[in-house]
């Protein structure tokens, strides 16, 4: 009863949340799923405001609740929306399921294309066009960051991608209720499902294939199906193309947005030294809330 009143109180006091991030980020997905779960009105911007950029570079997700300060970190944001925090062991096990994501740059073209398809729902054509142009910088940023991680030996593939999901498979056999949170999804469900969206948005085929068909993960697949049913009208779902029940894939950007994005990508390629210097400068900025 107390929990019910508390979450209602948060919902009542939260009129609107502005969120910054790209749909390929698992942590942004967790925040968007949380907002959807609580039925909180929100807007999504694909590039940070200048103030946010100066304070925390392109670090995502960031959220501004009502007119408060920009806040970083998906778990902290989810807590501000009324979800309970996640214990340290679970955080580590959630992070492990992210393994394999660094393969998304194996095909640079697919990587850039994936970002080009993100839809911007801002009502102004001009804003959408400008943001699409600038959005290609975000792609260069993450492309460079991932290549840097690979180059410095941070991509260590496990023998079998299935292993990283086994703790959750076991947990599902012990959990009462359809979700890790019991009768409704909690922050663990949201972060794990955010990572599923991330794996499916620019897929690394061996990894997604393993989740789809490996005999060791029947409960995990059933949980994905329950999450897809629960979030069936969620607008940014990618996993519905790979798991039952099939759900519509996140809406794609318009042709004009894609043209602006690729024009941005080409311009930034022609100015590559400046693009790279800006990326390194932003990557070195300390990341802090405002």
Ligand X SMILES: N[C@@H](CCC(=O)N[C@@H](CS)C(=O)NCC(=O)O)C(=O)O
CB of 259 to ligand X, least distance (A): 26
Closer by beta carbon to ligand X, 144 or else 219: 144
Q: Which is nearer to ligand X, 118 or 129 (CB)?
A: 118
Yes or no: say if 17 and 10 are a contact pair by the CB < 8 Å rule.
Answer: no
The C-alpha atoms of residue 26 and residue 202 are separated, in whole angstroms, by 12
Which residues, 6 or more positions from 135, have their beta carbon under 8 angstroms from its beta carbon? 22, 46, 47, 115, 118, 120, 261, 264
Minimum distance, C-beta of residue 101 to ligand X, in the bound complex (Å)? 8
Contact residues toward ligand X (CB under 6 A) are 25, 27, 57-61, 73-75, 283
Nearest to 227 by CA among 49, 27, 29: 29
Q: Cβ of residue 28: shortest distance to ligand X, in angstroms?
A: 7
Q: How far is the CB of 58 from ligand X (least distance, A)?
A: 6
CB of residue 154 vs ligand X: minimum separation in angstroms?
12
The nearer residue to ligand X, 58 or 102, going by C-beta atoms, is: 58
CB of 86 to ligand X, least distance (A): 10
User: Shortest Cβ distance from residue 273 to ligand X (Å)?
Assistant: 20
* CB environment 12-48: b (16+ within 10 A), e (fewer): eebeebbbbbbbbbbbbbbbbbbbbbbebebebbbbb
Per the structure block, which two tokens stand in for 30?
């967790």
Determine phi and psi for 17, rounding to 5 degrees: -125, 130
- Closest to ligand X by CB, 59 vs 265, is 59
Q: Tokens representing 58? A: 């392109």
Q: Is 237 helix (H, G, I), strand (E, B) or coil?
A: coil
Alpha carbon distance 198, 181 (integer Å): 21
Q: Do residues 288 and 55 make contact, with C-beta atoms less than 8 angstroms apart? A: yes
Q: Would you say 84 or 232 has its CB closer to ligand X?
A: 84
Give the C-alpha separation, 217 to 210, whole Å: 9
Q: Are 164 and 99 in contact (CB under 8 A)?
A: yes
Q: 47 vs 217, which CB is nearer to ligand X?
A: 47
The smaller minimum CB distance to ligand X, of residues 25 and 118, is found at 25
**What are 200's two structure tokens?**
């499916």
Q: How far is the CB of 198 from ligand X (least distance, A)?
A: 8
Dihedrals phi, psi of 25, to nearest 5 degrees: -90, 125
């Amino acid at each position: 009863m107390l929990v019910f009143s508390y979450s209602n109180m948060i919902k009542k006091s939260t009129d609107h949340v502005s969120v910054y991030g790209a749909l390929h980020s698992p942590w942004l997905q967790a925040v968007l799923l949380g907002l959807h779960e609580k039925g909180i009105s929100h807007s999504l911007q694909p590039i940070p405001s200048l103030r946010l950029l100066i304070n925390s570079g392109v670090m995502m997700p960031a959220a501004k609740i009502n007119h408060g300060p920009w806040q970083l970190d998906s778990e902290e944001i989810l807590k501000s929306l009324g979800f309970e925090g996640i214990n340290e062991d679970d955080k580590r096990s959630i992070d492990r399921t992210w393994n394999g994501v660094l393969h998304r740059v194996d095909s640079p073209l697919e990587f850039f294309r994936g970002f080009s398809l993100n839809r911007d729902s801002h009502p102004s054509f001009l804003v959408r066009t400008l943001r699409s142009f600038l959005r290609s910088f975000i792609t260069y940023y993450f492309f460079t960051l991932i290549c840097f991680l690979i180059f410095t030996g941070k991509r260590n593939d496990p023998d079998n991608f299935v292993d990283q999901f086994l703790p959750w498979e076991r947990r599902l056999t012990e959990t009462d209720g359809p979700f890790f949170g019991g009768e409704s999804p909690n922050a663990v469900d949201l972060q794990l499902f955010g990572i599923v969206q991330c794996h499916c948005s620019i897929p690394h085929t061996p990894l997604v294939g393993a989740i789809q068909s490996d005999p060791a993960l029947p409960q995990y697949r059933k949980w994905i199906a329950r999450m897809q049913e629960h979030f069936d009208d969620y607008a940014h779902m990618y996993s519905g193309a790979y798991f039952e029940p099939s759900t519509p894939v996140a809406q794609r950007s318009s042709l004009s947005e894609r043209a602006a994005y690729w024009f941005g990508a080409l311009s930034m390629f022609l100015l590559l030294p400046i693009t790279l210097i800006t990326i390194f400068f932003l990557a070195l900025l300390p990341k802090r809330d405002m």
